[in-house]
Amino acid sequence: MQSAFKILIVFSVMITTTSYSQSKNLKLWYDAPAANWNEALPIGNGRLGAMVFGNPVNENIQLNELTLWAGGPHRNDNPDAKDALKDVQSLLFQEKYDEAHRLANDKFLSKTSHGMPYETVGNLRLNFKNQDNYTNYYRELNIENAVNKTTYTANGVDYSREIFTSFTDNVIVIKLTANKKKSISFTASMDRPEPAKVEHFTENNNVLVMTGFGSNNKNKRLPKETEAIKGEVEFDSRIKIVTKGGRVEAKNNTLEVSKANSVLIYLSIATNFINYQDVSGDAHKKASDYIAFAEKKSYENLLESHTNFYQEYFNRVSLNLGTSEAAKLPTDVRIKEFKDGFDPELAALYFQYGRYLLISSSQPGGQPANLQGLWNKDLTPPWKSAYTVNINTEMNYWPAEVTNLTEMHEPLIEMVKDLSVAGQETAKVMYGAEGWVTHHNTDLWRICGPVDGATWGMWPTGGTWLTQHAWEKFMFNGDLEYLKSVYPAMKGASQFCLSVLTPEPTNGWLIVTPSISPEHGPKGRSKGVNIEAGTTMDNQLVFDMLTKTILAAQLLNVDAGLIKEMEAALAKLPPMQVGKYNQLQEWLKDLDDPEDKHRHVSHLYGLYPSNQISPYRNPELFKAAENTLIQRGDPSTGWSMNWKINLWARLLDGNHAYKLMGDQIKLVGRPGSPKGGGTYANMLDAHPPFQIDGNFGFTSGLTEMLVQSHNGAVHLIPALPDVWKDGKVTGLRARGGFEVSELVWENGKVVKAVIKSTLGGKLRIRSYNELQLERSNLLVEATGVNTNSFYQVPKIKNPLLTNATNIEQIALKPSYLYDVDTKKGEEITLIQK
């Protein structure tokens, strides 16, 4: 059924929604201190981060600053690659994979740097006197106001600690109080893990300073004669203690507080980093100035401005999936019992926790969230805590637009711009190509050459995937000025694709080679030999990159000649293929193993986050993607399970997506707990170890279950699981410049939807139950280009080749489509018919 609303024709009764207001239980809380780092609670302002343990006796606050990395400005291109390129391609076309792998390792991998690790600043330690025997213990992280709190009783005194990382004043603020005077005595010190070298000094008897540099770094994979990259990031970490009552003294690199009534601690960290080519800043002046500015304000003013800033972002989206008695339990207990119980509020909290983490780790003007977001306790963290761009960095930003945090997307977009400049030299030196390239990993210094080994690093489409985000942001804002700012990066990524596309010998299709399907290879190959020609994911990425650049060029009325080149190349790309096991093929040849349980499902990029595979446009591919996901299985590492939540949501199977949520929300990291991926007690994702992309993937996955906008329509509750029969969400965003101001469902059916059009143009709504228009109110004027006419379905269709003979038909729920002509700023209300 299809209907086009033209005028207001329906009057209806008001729908009561008060029972669906956002849950107020937006707290992680515990009845014991953190036993280890994976139980500490994260706070951050996009630049400064801390993990708070909440120990009454020996408090540890582990510190981070997002520009403190090892090494300094450098490049890591290998110029030997260009001369070896044809040889590697020839070996691949001859199916001499071992030889191609060895040659790629020798000639493509960097001889200077495999990337720098992100480093911890160190620790602030507060050691309290006479508080060993404590009772009434409680600690929480309130993600409604981004404040951490610890309370307990010792020796008849009630103690309280409040800690927040100020968004507005650039310091960490710690307030210590007690309900009896002269009860607060402790020492404060700072340290950094070995082998780091630091200096300590004190100023004016109440300021303690720790300074040092990021490490010199040389990867063990590099030749012995290779010199380490010198650590050039200087940092200054300092605390200032202000007491009411009592006194403060400096002793042996510590500050000692005696018999205070209350204490205020200002903690400031700064580095000399200016940009990836410039480390000429003054870390000491910045760190000192931050405290000097903050201490002019009262604690109440610091807290109020911090909270107001944070809530401007956080309060844009609310979610209510229902309530249960489980919400009365500590968070670690709820995580442990989630899969076998009913706790819809925990799913909603997990969703909002992802938004909290993104706001806290990615702020405009700063660096993007890395593999651990902002929070890392090590000098050499797992996988360097770098930017792994073969999925993990991209996954960090999947929630940005859809959950109304578009500003948080900016640091990633700015990194794409940086890489589009740095990667031009890499493209020229290594491939003799136009445009720009980066491979599977980058860092603060925007390295673009391959690292870690051909098994992982021989993947030249990292920049191609990252640049999808530049277009994705435009899909939500329709801002031509913004599009102009990112078009050079899009154009350069497409030019690289055009330069390196090579005809494969059998069909003459244009493919990327050498490359890999990230971190995975066909069955039967030598261990670690993943190198291939024309992987499905690369074909999908190139298709998206060229298609989107064509659309951008047409909107900006530029590069007519380049458009023709891209259109010609698109016509020669390989099609997606269905293999002998009715699976979507991962490689050009039918090499998939139905028993393969590998964590990466890279060829399903075409299903999510892309929109190339649709039940309405190419059901055969849609079913093949589902078969692939079934064959891979559900259990995996944390981030992989969360990607699968998104994939099952795109497959319109809410119950299976919810089942994976249960696989993810299981307590790991404690004695006797399950192994593998899951959730630590502090609700951070366990790969294991901790990777933040899993948290962000969960948030985007739950969003996809409630609202989708990739397939030509704003689809309401497309993948709702049976357990969430009634609920309400506000503030989610849809492509085309639409905001779902309010969405209410009862008994699995939409009963009310309020959608605001920020750009005007055609709004198409898809619903499983019949709706009718209630009212249309004109709100504020907005500016921009309506993208709804082209953002969903590429103008140039990807062809289909299938070898399958018995692939079953998909069964879709009947749906209703409604077209509404909207004006800029108009709000449309639909109700159940």
Domains contained in the chain, CATH given: 32-72+121-315 (2.70.98.50), 82-111+383-574 (1.50.10.10)
The answer to whether 77 touches 451, Cβ cutoff 8 Å, is: no
Specify the DSSP class assigned to residue 339. T
Residue 786's pLDDT is 44
Identify the burial level of 132 via C-beta atoms within 10 angstroms of its C-beta, where 0-12 means exposed, 13-18 middle and 19 or more buried.
Answer: exposed
Task: Report the pLDDT value the prediction gives residue 633, as an integer from 0 to 100.
Answer: 95
In Å, what is the CA distance from 565 to each residue of 96, 498, 549, 791? 32, 8, 11, 21
Q: Which long-range contacts (CB under 8 A, 24 or more apart) does 34-37 make?
A: 34/681, 34/682, 35/670, 36/669, 37/62, 37/377
CA distance between the termini of the chain: 14
Amino acid in position 111: K
Output the CA angle 7-13-17, nearest 5 degrees: 110
- Which pLDDT score, from 0 to 100, does residue 363 have? 98
Q: Looking at residues 778-787, what average pLDDT do you find?
A: 44
Asked whether the bond before 514 is cis by omega within 30 degrees of 0, the reply is yes
**Is residue 802 within a helix (H) or strand (E), and if so which, with residue range?**
strand 800-802
Residues linked to residue 733 through DSSP beta bridges, in sequence order: 739
pLDDT of residue 224: 85
Of 732, 698, 752, 758, which is closest to residue 316 (Cα–Cα)? 732
Q: Which residue has the tokens 């390239």?
A: 437
The helix (run of H) or strand (run of E) holding residue 716 is: strand 714-716
Q: Are 467 and 489 in contact (CB under 8 A)?
A: yes
Please give the average per-residue pLDDT across 663-691, as a whole number: 95
Are the CB atoms for 138 and 100 separated by under 8 Å? Answer: no
DSSP per residue, 389-410: TTTHHHHHTHHHHHTT-GGGGH
What are 200-221's pLDDT values in tens digits? 999 988 999 999 999 999 888 8
Digit-coded pLDDT (tens) for 703-762: 999 999 999 899 999 999 999 999 999 999 999 999 999 999 999 999 999 999 999 999
Tell me the residue type at 808.
Answer: E
Q: Report d(CA 667, CA 678) in Å as an integer.
A: 6
- Measured in degrees and rounded to the nearest 5, phi and psi for residue 764 equal -105, 130
Decide: 600 and 465 in contact? Cβ < 8 Å: no
Four-residue CA torsion sign, 227, 229, 232, 235:
negative
**Global pTM value:** 0.94
**Over residues 253-261, mean pLDDT:** 96
Q: Are strands 157-165 and 172-178 parallel, antiparallel or unpaired?
A: antiparallel
Looking only at Cα atoms, what is the longest distance across the chain?
A: 84
- What are the tens digits of pLDDT across the range 189-200? 999 999 999 999
Overall average pLDDT of the 826-832 stretch:
95
Q: State yes or no: pLDDT of 797 exceeds 90.
A: no
SS3 500: helix
- What's the confidence (pLDDT) of residue 804? 37
Task: Report the alpha-carbon distance of residue 699 to residue 705 in Å, rounded.
Answer: 10
Q: Tell me the Cα Rg of the chain.
A: 27
Is 70 exceeded by the pLDDT of residue 784? Answer: no
Average confidence (pLDDT) over 756-774: 93
Question: Which residue matches tokens 């051909």?
Answer: 454
- Can you give the pLDDT at residue 78? 97
Q: Mean pLDDT for the chain?
A: 92
pLDDT at 808: 56
pLDDT at 635 over 50: yes
3-state secondary structure of 611: coil
Tokens describing residue 597 = 């349980």
The CA dihedral of 598, 416, 442, 646, to the nearest 10 degrees, is: -20
The candidate with the shortest Cα–Cα distance to 53, out of 20, 76, 30, is: 30
Mean pLDDT for 246-274 is: 97
